[in-house]
Each structure stands twice: as C-alpha cells, then as structure tokens.
C-alpha cells in the first residue's frame, strides 16, 4: 500500500483559507443572485467578488510563506558556516519578529565563537610550529596527519612529503608503542640522542587519533649527569681528604718517631695513639665507602602483602618506650616489607635522636584517597636548614654517613610513593611524612 502524498504547507494554508472564506463567499453569491436582477450586473459583482477573494488568499499565502522561506535560508546559511546573514524588520513584540531576533542572536554568537576558535587555532599552530619539540599527529590507521617544523627537521623531510605516510615507514611505530613518559635512546635521520616520549589520544571527526610528542633530552641529561658527578666527586673527595690528611700526618709523625736514635721513653704510647687515629680514620673511610656502595646497589622492591600496623609496631619496639603509636585504620599494602621497614627505622631513629631524653616521638597514619600517609613526629629542635636534606653523604652527626634520608627517598619512590620532611607548625620539632599507594 503506497503512502498517500501530502499537500505542501503553502497549499494546505491555501486550502484552509478557502474553507474559511467559503461560507461567507457562498452567502454573498446567494444574496447577489437574489437581490440583483440584471444578469450582466450580477455576473460583474460575482467576478469582482471571486477575483478579490483569490487575491486576498494569494496575499495571505505569500505573507506567511515568504518569512518562513527567509528563516529557512538563514538556518541553511548557519548550517553551511555563513554567519553574516541577518533578518531585517525584527519586532520583539511580534511573534515572528521574536523568532528572527533569536536567530540573529544565534548567528552573532556562532560568529563570535568561530572567530575565537580560529584565533585560538592560529595561535596554537604558531606555537606548535615554533617550539623545538617534535609534534606528530596520526589518524586511526597510524598515518601521519600533522607535523611541525621540529618534526620535519627530525625526520629530514617536509610536511608535504611526510603527511600520509605510516608510522612504520617513518620509524615512529616503536615510539607509539612505548609508555608515555619513557626516555629512550634512538637515532633519527636528523640525529640521535635520548628522547622523552609523550603520547595522548584524541578524537577528531568522531575517529580516534594519536598525538606523539618527542623532546630531546640528551643535553639536559648530560648537564644533570655532569652536576651529579661533580657533587659526588666533591663529597667523596672531601671525605677522602678528611680521612687521608690525619692518616698521612700520623704516619709521618710515627716514622720520625721510630727513626730517632735513641727512642724516647714514651715512644710506645705515642705510637699507639697515632696508630689508633689511623685505625679510626680508616674505619670511618670504610664505613663511608660501604654506605656509598649500598646506595648504588639498591635493588628494586620485591612486593608482597603486608599489614602496616604490624610493620610500624615492629620498628617502634626497637626503641622500647620512646615512641608512642597513635592507632590508625587497618591498612594492607603491596610493598617490599624489608625495604619499607628500613625507611621507618631511619626516620624513627632520626626522630628519637632529635627528641633527646626529654622529648617524645609519635607515629600515626591515615588514609588519603588511593594512598596512606604515615607521619613520624618528634619534639626536637626542628630543621635548621632544609636545602641539604637530600644531598647524599651530607650529615650533621659526628658518626653519620649521610645516606639515610637519601636511601629512604629512593626506596619510597621505587614503591610509587613520596617522602617529605618539614618543621612542625605552631610547635617545636619536625614531622616526616611518607605517602605509599594502597594495594
């Protein structure tokens, strides 16, 4: 059964208007037929009535349909992205004029938004073009769609020759398979080095795309490595000089002493004292080198389930009654218990030594979203300086090695956490905060 064809809006309007005037027209025809006896005059009146009625219906149809056609043209222009068309003679008090006012407002709003988007897009293109970081955008088929000047230099090509080629052809498929944030060594046609990879997914036209950002880090890493080596050499050199200088001095004194003839009466006591100094400094140097080797050979954590409360209480028991444990929630972690235990040993020992005989030490923990925060708080004098806290081998203790905090930070960061040490607010003392992810 075929669908019955419907009349168009303008034709329906004409038919409805005819139906509306039909009773009046029929009544007028009947009255003219009865009252007018002359046939020529009768037909003249009837013709004028029919023509005027038809003209009025056509004018009504035109008056209604023409504004709707104008409105349709304006909406079509908006759909095509032309926001310059405006409706005229808009009266907010008129029903149709109110519609035209809203369409004009919509057109101006869309025009302003497109202008802002174009300006922002142009600015973004200039920034991407001028930065010295290579930027690549690939479509769902991993074909290159966007590349900036740094990317062109890296691949030794132009935008016209590179666009449309696959990531495998450009040698970037391995980069797209890497985890975002990785630093890899790679040789491009434009040069080799160590590169940091940043990947992001975005959608354009409803289809997934991949954004690849490659930044060259060789120069920055070399500078960081150079500064790190300078710090290490400076610290090791200071420690070696501090130990070798008294050893050399005592060795020279003992050599002169035993070379005297005859030997003085107290030469044995002087020799024993000198050898004792040499022994102590050599032992200190041995401890220092052992600590350095321990920091350099820190293994990755071997994770297993552990209950935080039991671990904290076990470490606190090493200091008898000096540490007060404030009860916290039951927390289970996926950690290397031996390494995390060493962190708490270092922090609690530092807190007990800072608090002295009269001060107290408190340990507490609390949940913080997807992590747990453990606090070790003491009543000591606090931190006089914080700029050297995390410098390897820096210590203010007479027999310290200077690696406790550095080792603790390395362990915590290997577990995906963080550690901070700061003075208490409103009270004397220091608080160490260790943040570990739950799991």
How does pLDDT run across 164-176, given as a tens digit for each residue? Answer: 889 888 888 888 8
d(CA 432, CA 375): 6
N residues, the chain: 439
Query: Do residues 147 and 162 lie in contact, with contact meaning Cβ atoms separated by under 8 Å?
Result: yes
Q: What is each CA distance from 306 to 51, 273, 316, 353, 420, in whole angstroms?
A: 99, 50, 16, 28, 22
Exposed, middle or buried, 153 (CB in 10 Å: 0-12/13-18/19+)?
middle
Sketch the domain layout of the chain as residue ranges.
Answer: 9-80, 131-216, 224-296, 304-437
d(CA 136, CA 168): 13
Q: By mean pLDDT, which of 185-194, 236-245, 272-281, 424-433 is the weakest?
A: 236-245
d(CA 123, CA 130): 11
Residue 96 has pLDDT above 50, yes or no: yes
pLDDT tens track for 190-248:
777 778 888 888 887 778 888 888 888 766 666 666 676 666 667 667 667 767 777 88
User: Long-range contacts of range 17-23, CB-CB < 8 Å, 24 or more positions apart?
Assistant: 17/57, 17/60, 17/61, 18/57, 21/53, 21/56, 21/57
d(CA 183, CA 380): 42
Beta strands 207-216 and 371-378 are unpaired
Query: Do residues 153 and 190 lie in contact, with contact meaning Cβ atoms separated by under 8 Å?
Result: yes
Backbone φ and ψ for 386, nearest 5 degrees, come out as: -115, -5
d(CA 352, CA 359): 8
What's the whole-number average pLDDT of the chain?
79
Options 3.20.20.70, 3.30.565.10, 3.30.720.210, 3.40.50.720; which CATH number does 304-437 get?
3.30.565.10
Query: Do residues 136 and 146 lie in contact, with contact meaning Cβ atoms separated by under 8 Å?
Result: yes
Q: By mean pLDDT, which of 87-96, 178-187, 246-255, 398-407 is the weakest?
A: 398-407
Backbone φ and ψ for 216, nearest 5 degrees, come out as: -85, 125
Q: What is each CA distance from 97 to 59, 107, 309, 400, in whole angstroms?
A: 19, 15, 74, 86
**Which residue, 7, 8, 13, 96, is CA-closest to 56?**
13
d(CA 216, CA 8): 67
What is the Cα 66 distance to its own chain's centre?
55
Q: Is the peptide bond prior to 138 cis by the omega test (within 30 degrees of 0)?
A: no
pLDDT score at 1: 43
pLDDT tens track for 261-270:
787 777 788 7
What is the Cα 333 distance to its own chain's centre?
26
**Which CATH class name applies to 131-216?**
alpha beta
**End-to-end C-alpha distance for the chain, whole angstroms:** 67
> Which DSSP string do the residues of 312-354 spell out, in sequence order?
HHHHHGGGTTSEEEPP----EEEE-HHHHHHHHHHHHHHHHHH
Please indicate whether residue 427 or residue 222 has the higher confidence score (pLDDT): 427
With both helix axes pointing from N to C terminus, report the angle between 337-355 and 404-414 in degrees, rounded to the nearest 10: 140
Torsion angle defined by CA atoms of residues 188, 189, 190 and 195, in that order, rounded to the nearest 10 degrees: 0
List, in sequence order, every residue forming a beta bridge with 138; answer none if it has no partner.
144, 210
Average pLDDT over residues 9-15: 67
pLDDT tens track for 333-371:
999 888 898 889 889 988 998 888 888 899 999 987 788
Query: Do residues 291 and 401 lie in contact, with contact meaning Cβ atoms separated by under 8 Å?
Result: yes
Residue 409 has pLDDT above 90, yes or no: no
pLDDT score at 389: 62
Query: Do residues 213 and 133 lie in contact, with contact meaning Cβ atoms separated by under 8 Å?
Result: yes
Query: Do residues 351 and 377 lie in contact, with contact meaning Cβ atoms separated by under 8 Å?
Result: yes
């Amino acid at each position: 059964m075929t669908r019955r064809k419907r009349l168009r809006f303008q034709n329906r309007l004409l038919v409805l208007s005819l139906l509306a005037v039909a009773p009046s027209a029929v009544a007028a025809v009947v009255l003219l037929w009865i009252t007018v006896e002359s046939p020529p005059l009768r037909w003249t009146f009837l013709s004028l009535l029919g023509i005027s009625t038809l003209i009025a219906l056509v004018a009504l149809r035109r008056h209604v349909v023409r504004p709707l056609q104008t409105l349709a043209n304006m909406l079509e222009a908006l759909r095509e992205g032309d926001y310059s068309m405006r409706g005229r003679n808009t009266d907010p008090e008129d029903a149709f004029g109110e519609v035209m006012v809203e369409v004009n407002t919509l057109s101006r709003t869309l025009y302003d938004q497109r202008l802002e988007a174009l300006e922002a897009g142009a600015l973004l293109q200039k920034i991407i073009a001028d930065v010295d970081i290579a930027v690549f955008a690939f479509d769902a088929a991993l074909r290159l769609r966007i590349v900036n000047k740094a990317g062109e230099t890296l691949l030794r090509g132009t935008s016209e020759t590179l666009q449309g080629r696959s990531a495998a052809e450009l040698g970037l498929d391995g980069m797209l398979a890497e985890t975002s944030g990785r630093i890899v060594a790679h040789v491009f046609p434009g040069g080799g080095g160590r590169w940091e990879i940043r990947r992001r997914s975005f959608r354009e036209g409803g289809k997934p795309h991949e954004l690849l950002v490659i930044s060259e880090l060789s120069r920055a890493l070399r500078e960081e490595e150079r500064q790190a080596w300078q710090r290490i050499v400076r610290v090791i050199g200071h420690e070696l000089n501090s130990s070798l200088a008294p050893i050399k001095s005592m060795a020279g004194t003992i050599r002169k002493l035993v070379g005297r003839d005859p030997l003085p009466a107290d030469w044995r006591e002087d020799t024993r004292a000198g050898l004792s100094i040499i022994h102590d400094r050599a032992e200190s140097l041995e401890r220092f080198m052992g600590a350095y080797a321990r920091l350099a050979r820190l293994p990755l954590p071997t994770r297993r389930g552990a209950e935080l409360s039991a671990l904290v209480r076990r470490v606190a028991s090493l200091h008898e009654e000096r540490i007060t444990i404030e009860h916290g929630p039951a927390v289970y972690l996926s950690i290397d218990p031996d390494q995390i235990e060493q962190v708490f040993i270092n922090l609690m020992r530092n807190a007990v030594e800072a608090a002295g005989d009269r001060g107290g030490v408190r340990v507490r923990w609390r949940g913080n979203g997807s992590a747990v925060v453990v606090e070790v708080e003491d009543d000591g004098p606090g931190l006089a300086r914080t700029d050297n806290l995390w410098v390897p081998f820096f210590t203010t203790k007479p027999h310290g090695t200077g690696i406790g905090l550095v080792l603790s930070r390395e362990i915590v960061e290997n577990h995906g956490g963080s550690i901070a040490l700061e003075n208490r607010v409103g009270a004397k003392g220091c608080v160490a905060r260790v943040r570990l992810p739950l799991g």
